Amino acid sequence: MRILLATRNAGKLDELRRIVVKRGLGEVRVLGLSDVEDFPEAPETGATFEENAVAKAHDAAKATGLPAIADDSGLSIDALGGMPGVLSARWSGQHGDDEANLRLVLGQLQDVPDERRGGGFVSAAAFVVPDGKEIVVRGEWRGTIIREPRGTNGFGYDPIFVPDGETRTAAQLQPAEKDAVSHRGKALRSLLPHLQEYVEGQ
């Protein structure tokens, strides 16, 4: 059985493949967007992570006829009213400029005292079956926004995020360590029972 993960990110694909195998769903083959015919990717204009994840999964399922999983993730900072949130990847106005986005957040939080620098990575993951069910779940990973970047793993805001209970930033964790506790790992694992149910119903 083939399932589409609506991403071109090889890291995300590997992560879902590992999770799926661990769950004993060895018969599921996880494809990425690069494995299927091109279809126009709509811009993410939803007001919530959930809205974006569901829309992306719907588009992918509709275009390919495959059951599709999609996620939308970002950093939600308390002192910024929950932003950058759905705008995490384009916070500086430039899409995908991780360094500019991170520097802007540090500038905005410059005068925000340590006790108000809480925040969390959030991921919504949606599972959509063509003409069928639609599930969306959320994973969160709470922590603190520090004042200077540390570490080179990961991407995005990882270098300025210290998860609760850690002294290292997310960018100083090993990828497998991060998978085990991160927002997206949590969200994807929450989807698995629904994926399993669907697989067993086929």
Binding residues for substrate, by number, are 7-12, 73, 155-158, 178, 183-184
CA 35 to chain centre: 20
Helix/strand/coil for 165: coil
Considering only residues 139 to 178 of the shown chain, the ones binding a second copy according to CB under 8 A are none
- 55-63, 110-118, 169-177, 188-196 -> range binding a second copy (CB under 8 A): 110-118
- Total number of residues binding a second copy (CB under 8 A)? 26
Distance from C-alpha of 74 to C-alpha of 156, rounded to nearest angstrom: 9
* Among 25, 31, 36, 83, interactor with a second copy by CB under 8 A: 83
Give the per-residue contact string, 33-62, with a second copy (x = CB under 8 A; - = no). ----------xxx-x---------------
Q: Say whether residue 107 binds a second copy (CB under 8 A).
A: yes
- 17-25, 66-74, 91-99, 172-180 -> range binding a second copy (CB under 8 A): 91-99
Question: How many C-beta atoms surround the C-beta of residue 31 within 10 A?
Answer: 17
Binding-site annotation: residue ranges: 7-12, 72-73, 155-158, 178, 183-184
- Torsional sign, CA 22, 171, 102, 163: positive
Distance from C-alpha of 87 to C-alpha of 174, rounded to nearest angstrom: 26
72 has catalytic annotation: yes
Whole-number minimum distance, CB 194 to a second copy, in Å? 29
Copy the structure tokens of residue 39: 């279809």
Helix/strand/coil for 123: strand
Angle between helix axes 10-22 and 183-201 (nearest 10 degrees) is: 60
Distance from C-alpha of 18 to C-alpha of 60, rounded to nearest angstrom: 22
Among 59, 71, 72, 179, which one carries the catalytic annotation?
A: 72
* Among 25, 31, 36, 104, interactor with a second copy by CB under 8 A: 104
Whole-number minimum distance, CB 90 to a second copy, in Å? 7
Tokens 């996880």 locate to 30
How does DSSP assign 144-170, residue by residue? EE-SS---SSS-TTGGGEEETT-SS-G
Q: Say whether residue 121 binds a second copy (CB under 8 A).
A: no
- Active-site positions read 72
Residues near a second copy (CB under 8 A) are 43-45, 47, 79-83, 85, 87, 90-94, 103-104, 106-108, 110-113, 116
